Amino acid sequence: MRVLVAGDRGYIGAVLVPLLRAAGHEVDGLDLGLYEGCDLGPAPDDLGGRRPRDMRDVEPGELEGYDAVACLAALSNDPLGDLNRAATFSVNLDGTLQLARAAKQATSHFSLTEGALAEVRARLTLRTGDTDAHRASE
């Protein structure tokens, strides 16, 4: 299976990508690289000439050919959330929704961790004041 992992350089992505590859999957990464060089363990596998890419800018055509898109990208457990709420909303909510919409248009399966899904729902509710706002994104 051909898989794109958004946030492949993050805490979970750096562990998930080698596991997927060991299971025989072809895996590409999508990461802005904000924390490049701040690895908690061995540096993630080299992904060749891939340039840093922001999921907020992804277009459906970039996801064609992938069987699945896994979204692990987010600003989490980071003081930035308190320092710059707009940036956190932009990456964690707007970026996730953009990636999900692009994956849907490209007919890729889209996967979001349960924690990330809860955060997207909470941020939609905070932004709109509507406790059912998350239904519009489904």
What residue segments make up the domains of the chain, in order of their start?
2-137
Residue 2 or residue 112, greater confidence: 2
Quote the pTM value: 0.78
Would you say residue 117 has pLDDT above 60?
no
Dihedral angle sign, alpha carbons of residues 81, 86, 90, 94: positive
What's the CATH number for 2-137? 3.40.50.720
Structure confidence by residue, pLDDT tens digits, 71-93: 988 887 667 677 887 888 888 88
- Cα dihedral value 128, 133, 136, 138, nearest 10: 130
Across 30-56, average pLDDT = 75
